[in-house]
Structure 1
Amino acid sequence: MQAMLIMKQVLADKASPVQDNWRGIPTRLNNIPHSRDIRAYFYEDVLQATLRSIKDGHTRLRVDINIPELNPEMDVYRIGTLMELVRALALSFADDGKRVKVCVQGSMGEGALAGMPLQLAGTRKILEYMDWGDDETLGTFVKLGAIGGKEVDEEDDLFILVAPQNAVGNCIIDDLQAMTTAAGKRPVVLINPKLKDLPASSGIMQTMGRDKRLEYALTFDNCYLFRLLYYAGTQYPIMGALRMSYPYRYELYKRLNEENGKEKYVLISTYTERPTPDQINDAFSGKSREESKKPSGFWAFLGSGFY
């Protein structure tokens, strides 16, 4: 009986966002640029989820976070925010004595296709010029590299990959798979990856091996997800947010306006697995499970590019 009560308490703890002392979603995320406090808040949120996941033995991790300054689909995208997030993670592990390799994919393809996604242009240089604190940190406990099996050295303890993604006509999956194979049981953390197939220059999707590539992409476990939700085809106003911080549930929040121009995010539903757009729509419209089976057609999908 005592053992059963303990197990119930453990499960309750994992389902509750209060257990990790989380303070709730910051407000004013529509205000750009984000304040230093808001950026630091999300860096810490990502870090704690990643630490918990690695502590539990997970080695293939992905972080998906799309606050406006980290969403490349928005005009307010700021590469510096992505670099600050990567630095916060790397330095935390380095402070713990780990040797971290931060990896940015190099140019891919040949001729006119030789290049890298625009989102990553100049990333390596920014990392080199950033303030890493102690003069000996960069180059000793934190090293920079590319993505590939040959980039894995024996002394590396952990790998942080900056927004690995497929380019038109070129696929990063093979290099990524070679790297994780060489890394073995050492943690590999993907920050905002985009691993879906893209059309070749001819406009035709790469078909050979697509199933295996998609299967490999799914081997990475989300240790952190934060996604702002909008009406389909829009990026304003913010309607709500979806958050998951390992090992807790997926939490769906609705943004509400308050008096005096204030706002708040209210938890409206939780899920053991990542909810589908239909489930999110049902929660926002207040439908019961039975009602959700009936066609409605009036509720716009939330979250353009949700998956």
Structure 2
Amino acid sequence: NNPVEYAVHRRTSFASQLATIGTLTPISIHLTCCYQSIHKYLRHIMRSAGRTVLISTFVSLPVTRSFSTLIRSERAQARLVPQRSLAKRSHASSIWGEIVVFGALFASPGGSEITDTKKFDAKQLDFAMGYLNKHHSDLLADFATVFTEIGEEKAKKNAFSGGSFRIEGAKIVGLDATGIDLDVIVKARSDREAKIKRTGMKLDVDPIKAMSRVHKTLPMIPREYLGTNPVDDFVRRMNRLCLIVNRPAVTGKLIQLAIQIGGDGVGKVHDNLYLNQVPHNRFVRQYFYDMASDAALDAVIQCSEGKISNRMKMTVMFPEMNPSMDSYRIGTLLELTRDVGIKLAEQNLRVRICVQSSMGVGIFTGVPKQLSGVATLLQRMDWQSGEGEENEGMIGNYINFGAIGKEHVANVGQDKKGKRVEQDDVFILICPQSMVGVESSIMGPLSEMVDAAGDRPVILINPDLSDKQSSQGQQGVRGRQDRMDFADSFKPIFHFSNTYVSGTSYFPILGSLCKMNPSALWVAHQRRDLVQGGEVYVPVLSTEEPPTGDLIMSSFEK
């Protein structure tokens, strides 16, 4: 109603004036400049002021025209200048005019707004827009229906008479890591021909009110998960929207798109792993060891920064690590643990590797078959810790061994002989699990150890914290909810498992499900054999939470 006019002479003075404007303040800006540079100029000064244009309407006026004649009332509608008109005139550098911008400014929100200045390059932008417009125009139409004001208009006009207003298609005309601009093809019953309406939407958006019952919203992508690569950020946010509009199959294709146009390879699994062949190649084993070790180190760093909980778990279930299969190899489990422990110890962290001891009462004691002999083998294996070797002095100093229980948590102090004891920094627990029978639950010793560790990282490798059969209902009824809550408190920092035809058939391998690091998304892959030989794992599904088996199978191409 009372727009504040700013005569702009210098870029710096304009930015400083913008910084004083309150949120959601209507303004008008008078600029006298070449049409060709106006868009770039406005983006720069808005960024300098730390503000974002929420709505902007560009109106071309002759220099001699009075500003007061443009606004006749508070609801005056400004005439939009089509982009093609500007394009025709931009080549003539002698053509000058006055650009009036009406809009609202708001401070950048503290949510998941990306502060990284990296953008799509020209090739990435062209490829991404071309792919989405050619193969997923129906998805873009769904976005316009569920997330934009055009969807609100459609809901209102169809409230009394269905089919009065239709969205027939949509096309992307602009995008970046935070939002997209759409040209939406709409047709009202009273119109002879369809019209094109332009609208924009942020990628961090919830469904409009009219669609919120049909399309349930999902949590926003946490800010700390973004800002690494503009392509990956864009795809991750787009995948959230795809799940909201019930198009999960598109998420895998967008992951493939990111890999092709310059993302960081999020969700990519190495080709030609041949996991159906056992024993695995040494390269294959080392490939998983390296991924798990890097994920563990990332998790410890994020835990020290307070970004994630200190209760963590790693699930590594390729065939040689799966105890349900006859291909299970105890040496692979030990080698994985060794690589993870050494990776952390190389960062001057003191690591304690623990294997649960015998459980039970009287003659009914023992350890799970999966862990039989592991504690002894773990200490006897080659750690390259001898004199003159690569990890000289690491065992007994930076890497120690123990069992599961609060008595195995070392704090700074002295032992019985008066020797100084250093505090453990990280705890790695190998396959903690309960056994069948009374007094054979791992939950008690494990919870006591976690409490004694305080805020220090506790990493479980391939845990099985489900209840087992027992007399007197010890692991069946009493305290079951508390045990389930405790098990759920351990968050995945790395996951790799194969997908099979059924729970009892382990051949052939259909695909995989993986989460590469604590902040990564879950990606399901379909294994495909190549005609010329070899195999590839193709991303088919991407979610923020572990997907169900039915959702994974429905995403596979037949």
TM range (shorter): 0.7 to 0.9
3-state SS, counterpart of residue 493 of structure 2: strand
Q: Quote the Cα distance in structure 2 between the aligned partners of 1:19 and 1:152.
A: 38
In structure 2, the residue matched to 1:159 is 427
Distance 1:237 1:54 in 2: 36
Separation in 2, partners of 1:93, 1:119: 25
**Matched residue, 1:295:** none
Residue in 2 that maps onto 1:30: 276
Query: Which of 309, 313, 316 is 1:65 aligned to?
Result: 316
Q: Counterpart of 1:179? A: 449
Q: What's 1:225 paired with?
A: 495
Structure 1 range deviating more: 123-132 or 277-286: 277-286
For residues 287 and 373 of structure 2, the distance between their equivalents in structure 1, rounded to whole angstroms, comes to: 26
Residue 49 of structure 1 deviates from its aligned partner by 1.5
1:34-45 aligned at under 5 Å gives the runs 34-45=280-291
Name the residue aligned to 2:512: 241
Shift of the 23–244 alpha-carbon distance from structure 1 to 2, 3 Å rule, reads closer
Q: Which residue of 2 aligns with 1:117?
A: 368
Give the whole-Å Cα distance in 1 for the aligned partners of 2:266 and 2:350. 29
Cα offset for 1:37?
0.8
Q: Identity of aligned pairs, percent? A: 36
Match of 2:461 in 1: 191
Given that residues 441 and 475 in structure 2 are in contact (C-alpha distance below 8 angstroms), is that contact kept between their aligned partners in structure 1?
no
Aligned residues: 286
Counterpart for residue 43 of structure 2: none
Deviation, structure 1 residue 112: 3.8
SS state of the match for residue 194, structure 1?
coil
Structure 2 letter corresponding to 1:200: S
More strand by percentage: 2
**What's 1:259 paired with?**
531
Deviates more, 1:134-143 or 1:239-248: 134-143
The match for 1:290 is none
Aligned counterparts of 1:103 and 1:274: Cα–Cα separation in 2: 27
Deviations 1:181-223 (CA, angstroms, capped at 9, x unpaired): 0000110000000000000168985311111011001000100
CA distance, structure 2, for counterparts of residue 25 and residue 239 of structure 1: 15
Q: Which has the larger radius of gyration?
A: 2
User: Which AA in structure 1 matches 2:346?
Assistant: D
Q: Which has the higher contact order (CA 8 A, sep 6+)?
A: 1
Normalised by the length of structure 1, the TM-score is 0.87
**CA deviation map 1:231-251 (0-9, x unaligned):** 013100000100012211100
Q: Is the 8 A contact 2:268 2:539 kept in 1?
A: no
Give the match for residue 279 of structure 1. 551
- Provide the C-alpha distance between the structure 2 equivalents of 1:280 and 1:45, rounded to a whole number of angstroms: 23
What stretches of structure 1 of length at least 5 have no aligned partner? 287-307
One-letter code of the match for 1:279?
L
Read off the aligned partner of 2:341 and give its amino acid letter: A
Q: Which runs of 5+ in 2 are unaligned?
A: 1-45, 48-107, 117-177, 179-225, 237-257, 387-392, 412-422
Q: 1:134 Cα deviation (Å)?
A: 2.0
Residue 52 of structure 1, CA deviation: 1.6
Aligned-residue RMSD, C-alpha: 2.2
C-alpha distance in structure 1 between counterparts of 2:275 and 2:477, whole Å: 39
CA-CA distance at 1:131 after TM superposition: 1.0
C-alpha offsets along residues 140-178 of structure 1, whole Å, 9 cap, x if unaligned? 111110000111001111100000001112110111110
> What are the equivalent positions in structure 2 for 1:193-212 lying under 5 Å apart?
193-200=463-470, 205-212=475-482
- Deviant stretches of 4+, over 3 Å: 1-5, 11-18, 20-23, 201-205
Structure 1 residue 38: deviation in Å?
0.7
Partner in structure 2 of residue 149 of structure 1: 406
Q: 2:264 aligns with which of 3, 12, 19?
A: 19
Q: Distance in 2 between the 1:206 and 1:112 partners? A: 23
- State the AA in 1 paired with 2:481: D
Q: How far apart, CA to CA, are the structure 1 residues paired with 2:114 and 2:385?
A: 48
Structure 2 residue 410 is matched with structure 1 residue 140? no
Q: 1:86: which partner in 2?
A: 337
For 1:143 and 1:31, the matched residues in 2 are separated by 35
Deviation at 1:61, TM superposition (A): 0.6
**Pairing 1:52–2:298 present:** yes
Contact 2:526/2:540 (8 A) holds in 1 = yes
Over 3 Å counting, the alpha-carbon distance change for 1:211 and 1:74 in structure 2 is same
1:6 to 108, 115, 126: 115
CA distance in 2, matches of 1:243, 1:93: 22
Give 1:113 deviation, angstroms.
Answer: 2.3
TM-fit CA distance, 1:257: 1.0
Partner SS, residue 34 of structure 1 = coil
Tell me by how many angstroms 1:254 deviates.
0.3
Equivalent in the alignment of 1:297: none
Matching residue of 2:156: none
Distance 2:266 2:340 in 1: 19
CA distance in structure 2 between the partners assigned to 1:276 and 1:23 by the alignment: 20
Cα deviation digits, residues 277-305 of structure 1 (max 9, x gap): 1211221258xxxxxxxxxxxxxxxxxxx
